[in-house]
Structure 1
Amino acid sequence: MPCYRLDGLTPVVDPTAYVHPSAVLIGDVIVGPRCYIGPLASLRGDFGRIVLEEGANVQDTCVMHGFPGGDTVVERNGHVGHGAVLHGCRVGEDALIGMNAVVMDGAHVAPRCIVGATAFVKAGFECPAQSLVMGAPAQVKRALSDQEITWKKRGTAEYHHLTQRCMASLVECQPLTEAEAHRPRMGDGGFRPKGEEGA
């Protein structure tokens, strides 16, 4: 992975975390145990500190950054969807940030919240735990059910498993020129998008 020391500060990655080789870590970045960082993610600890607590995942093309002296934190088992931007904010334990959402400085997404895809969470935003947050600007829409929290936790567990799969078997290779006869499919880990649990 492209990993850069800046002003004497070297990124820290726990040995049980997986960071894709195309992700970029700069300066004051701390990646905890069992974390997953996806392809082309950018974690820039060149002003403030970037912290991923145990079991958090930051998916492909996400950006984490912040102002000098501040921290941008994804707490334990936080789940950050493709293309999201986190800037100087805190994502609570077991919270989910949807794809292409933006969470701004000083915002605190409380534990077990779900922020909808493409939401814009303004600076200084706060919300109660276990809330559904949607819109631009984002607003609390309602409380989440225990069933919805269980769905979120299953998705995060799939990323814990993906961390292990990538560490065990992901290797750079040349593509084939055509698909093999009887080409196998990726194994089904059991996770289904919301609303497709019975599929």
Structure 2
Amino acid sequence: MTPAERFPWATILSFEGMEPRIHETAFIAPGARIIGDVTIGPEASVWYNCVLRGDIHRIEVGARSNVQDGSVFHVEGPRPDTEGCPTIIGEDCVIGHMAVVHGATLENRAFVGMGAVAMDDCRIGEGAMLAAGALLSPGKTIPPREIWVGRPAKFLRTQDEAQVEKIRFQTERYCRLAQRHLAALRGETAA
């Protein structure tokens, strides 16, 4: 069964021969648009009205990561001065509602808050957080476990293990929630 057949309520389109690859355990919500060179890993979820457009470079969403409602992922294609910037999301990442991730890399357990923007060639380290509403300008790196806030984003403080554990809790909750939504859409009762 193709991804489009598994998720008939979403728009899943190939682009110039590039077909989205969606793991059989992933969840794609109604209204989501997945286009082109996009890979979505095991138990990852893409929520209502998100757009992941992999037309001029690739997008990867790692295992158990969640892309929450209304978020937009795009990429920077190759130019004379660069090979371009894919959007790479590691495992167990949380991307809050209405976030924009454009040609950036998130390492495992990274967190992008609601309405935040991560631009071309940015990197958000393992267990790090770009706070709600923040803007990470091109080429910036947030080291592991740091929290950055503001527009433009700047260092606020380092997270402790308990705060990083909250990111892990969020990913686990979203994995369970995705299964409940999938069951509801199929007219079933979630296990």
TM-score bin (small chain): 0.7 to 0.9
Instruction: Please tell me whether the aligned partners of residues 93 and 111 of structure 2 are also in contact (alpha carbons under 8 angstroms).
Output: yes
Q: Is 1:34 aligned to residue 43 of structure 2?
A: yes
- 1:57 match: 66
Larger Rg: 1
Alignment deviations for residues 21-80 of structure 1 (CA, whole Å, 9 cap, x no partner): 210011101101000100000000111101001111101110000111431011001110
Alignment deviations for residues 146-173 of structure 1 (CA, whole Å, 9 cap, x no partner): 111112211121101112212222358x
- 1:43 match: 52
- 1:70 match: 85
SS of the residue 1:147 aligns to: helix
How far apart, in 2, do the equivalents of 1:125 and 1:143 lie? 17
How far apart, in 1, do the equivalents of 2:137 and 2:87 lie? 15
- 1:15 match: 24
Aligned partner letter, 1:32: G
TM-score normalised according to structure 1 size? 0.83
How far apart, in 1, do the equivalents of 2:44 and 2:35 lie? 17
Alignment deviations for residues 125-165 of structure 1 (CA, whole Å, 9 cap, x no partner): 11221111111100111110111111221112110111221
How far apart, in 1, do the equivalents of 2:169 and 2:112 lie? 15
How far apart, in 2, do the equivalents of 1:150 and 1:77 lie? 11
- 2:33 match: 24
- 2:96 match: 81
- 1:165 match: 180
RMSD: 1.2
Aligned partner letter, 1:53: G
Alignment deviations for residues 77-126 of structure 1 (CA, whole Å, 9 cap, x no partner): 11100000000000110011000000000000001011110000010011
Which stretch shifts more, 88-97 or 152-161? Answer: 152-161
Instruction: Using the aligned pairs only, state the percent identity.
Output: 31
- 5+ residue gaps, structure 2, are 1-9, 78-83
- 1:105 match: 120
TM-score normalised according to structure 2 size? 0.87
Q: Is 1:93 aligned to residue 108 of structure 2?
A: yes
Instruction: Please tell me whether the aligned partners of residues 128 and 146 of structure 2 are also in contact (alpha carbons under 8 angstroms).
Output: yes
- 1:114 match: 129
